């Protein structure tokens, strides 16, 4: 076992953060928490966490909000776990990389919207993916050299609406969308999984993390979420990573990479009969992945626009102000508007953080405008 690691947890009261702290409690000889931050949605829990972990480390840094997370990410430590949800995770991601800390990245949005800004700051091996699919790919890639990889295959559960038609999806309620069949997650990512926007974001993330073009990154539907992703090699072999649905394994790997944490989670029970099924993605009913490929290929600020418009649309859906199928329709309308709006000389411009965040804010305003227009037509 390697020496005990000092870790900073950003987004400590969220799903990823609370599970990470459970892992720390179970492995005090491996991990010490030196920093905690949260967005402020659950202040009582945050106070309890700070009291608990400062008892073991009195110099623990704690704070609420993006500024505190950015400061915490730059602390001298071994690993920063970015478990923040949304675009506000970008500055903390950049701060962790610039400080030379290993970044256990659950905040996929920061990589997706930051793109080259993030990659140009990252040293080889400095980013360890915590998304279950990308953690699975990283594990499978140990089986061969980069030159031997033919394609990546990301699995999607299909959410609660696998097999539904576009017409059926139009009537989906908030309660139905939040009832994910295999994963327990926060409301935003649960809706993103139901629309498959989350899988679209993960396709872009895989392209950025592993350097493969979009035509070599596939998505298949795997309802039981036991196979988390696969890598196909040039000789016809496919290596997959499997476990019962849990985030504890990718979180543990994110904190201890490249080593594994014993008993991080239960393994598959091979004494029981089980069938693994895989289905093609229905791009007509779920157009989010195809749209993500389009914005990922366009690059620049397009992924930031996709992500920001989706965050606004999901918020409106959860508040009862937007239909389920209108979420991705809104995102597509905003992407189209940005495509028409963007001057040619800005398409090849080297990005700055301000460029990305300005595009993010523009897309949010445009999404709200689109949603209001939809209401007016009702």
Strand 217-221 with 279-280, pairing = antiparallel
What pLDDT score does 328 carry? 97
**Fold match between 5-129 and 299-378?**
no
As given in the structure block, the two tokens for residue 99 are: 């400080």
Lowest mean pLDDT, pick from 85-94, 142-151, 210-219: 85-94
pLDDT at 378 > cutoff 70: no
Percent of the chain past pLDDT 90, that is, above it, reads 89
Rounded CA separation 286/224 (Å): 19
How many Å apart are CA 68 and CA 75, to the nearest integer? 11
Tokens 């979009």 -> residue? 214
pLDDT (mean) for 265-293: 95
- What top-level class would CATH report for the domain 5-129? alpha beta
DSSP 303-370: HHHHHHHHHHHHHHHHTTSS-SHHHHHHHHHHHHHHHHHS-HHHHSSPP-HHHHHHHHHHHHHHHHHH
User: Structure tokens of 114?
Assistant: 């930051």
Residue 295 has pLDDT above 90, yes or no: yes
**Angle, CA of 371, 161 and 189, to the nearest 5°:** 60
Domain ranges (residues) in the chain = 5-129, 131-246+268-293, 299-378
Measured distance CA(54)–CA(75) in Å, rounded: 16
Query: Which pLDDT value is given to residue 117?
Result: 94
> Residue 376's pLDDT is what?
63
Instruction: Check if the beta carbon of residue 240 is closer than 8 Å to that of residue 229.
Output: yes
How many angstroms separate the Cα of 7 from the Cα of each of 12, 252, 275, 297?
12, 12, 39, 35
* Cα 211 from Cα 374, distance rounded (Å): 38
CATH code of domain 299-378: 1.10.1740.10
The whole-number average pLDDT for the span 143-152 is 97
In the chain, alpha helices (H): 15-26, 43-56, 66-73, 90-98, 108-114, 116-121, 132-140, 166-169, 174-177, 187-195, 197-210, 248-256, 288-298, 302-318, 325-341, 344-347, 353-377
What pLDDT is recorded for position 349? 75
| Torsion angle, alpha carbons of 198, 199, 202, 206, to 10 | 180
Tokens 């594994």 correspond to 260
Tokens of 17: 């953060």
pTM for this structure?
0.94
What does the alpha-carbon distance between residue 124 and residue 119 come to, in Å, rounded to a whole number? Answer: 9
């Amino acid at each position: 076992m390697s020496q005990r690691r000092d870790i900073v947890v950003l987004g400590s009261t969220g799903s990823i953060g609370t599970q990470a702290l459970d892992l720390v409690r179970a492995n005090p000889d491996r991990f010490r928490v030196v920093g905690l931050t949260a967005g402020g949605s659950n202040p009582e829990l945050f106070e309890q966490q700070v009291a608990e972990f400062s008892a073991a480390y009195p110099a623990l840094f704690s704070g609420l909000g993006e500024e505190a997370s950015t400061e915490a990410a730059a602390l001298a430590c071994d690993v920063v776990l970015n478990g923040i949800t949304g675009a506000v995770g970008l500055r903390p991601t950049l701060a962790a990389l610039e400080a030379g800390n290993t970044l256990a990245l659950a905040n996929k949005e920061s990589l997706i919207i930051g793109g080259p800004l993030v990659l140009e700051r990252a040293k080889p091996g400095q980013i360890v993916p915590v998304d279950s699919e990308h953690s699975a790919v990283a594990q499978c890639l140990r089986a061969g050299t980069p030159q031997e990889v033919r394609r990546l295959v990301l699995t999607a559960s299909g959410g609660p609406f696998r097999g539904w038609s576009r017409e059926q999806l139009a009537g989906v309620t908030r309660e139905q969308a939040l009832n994910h069949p295999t994963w327990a997650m926060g409301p935003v990512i649960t809706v993103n999984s139901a629309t498959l926007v989350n899988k679209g974001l993960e396709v872009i993330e895989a392209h950025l993390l592993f350097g493969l073009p979009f035509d070599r990154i596939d998505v298949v539907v795997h309802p039981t979420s036991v196979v988390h992703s696969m890598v196909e090699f040039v000789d016809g072999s496919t290596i997959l990573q499997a476990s019962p649905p849990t985030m504890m394994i990718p979180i543990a790997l994110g904190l201890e990479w490249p080593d594994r944490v014993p008993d991080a989670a239960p393994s598959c029970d091979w004494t029981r009969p089980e069938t693994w099924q895989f289905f093609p993605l229905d791009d007509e009913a779920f157009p989010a992945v195809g749209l993500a490929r389009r914005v990922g290929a366009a690059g620049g600020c397009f992924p930031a626009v996709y992500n920001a418009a989706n965050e606004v649309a999901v918020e409106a859906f959860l508040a009862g102000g937007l239909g389920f199928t209108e979420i991705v329709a809104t995102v597509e309308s905003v992407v189209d508007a940005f495509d028409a709006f963007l001057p040619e000389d800005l398409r090849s411009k080297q990005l700055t953080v301000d460029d990305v965040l300005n595009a993010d804010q523009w897309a949010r305003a445009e999404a709200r405008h689109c949603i209001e227009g939809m209401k007016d037509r009702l």
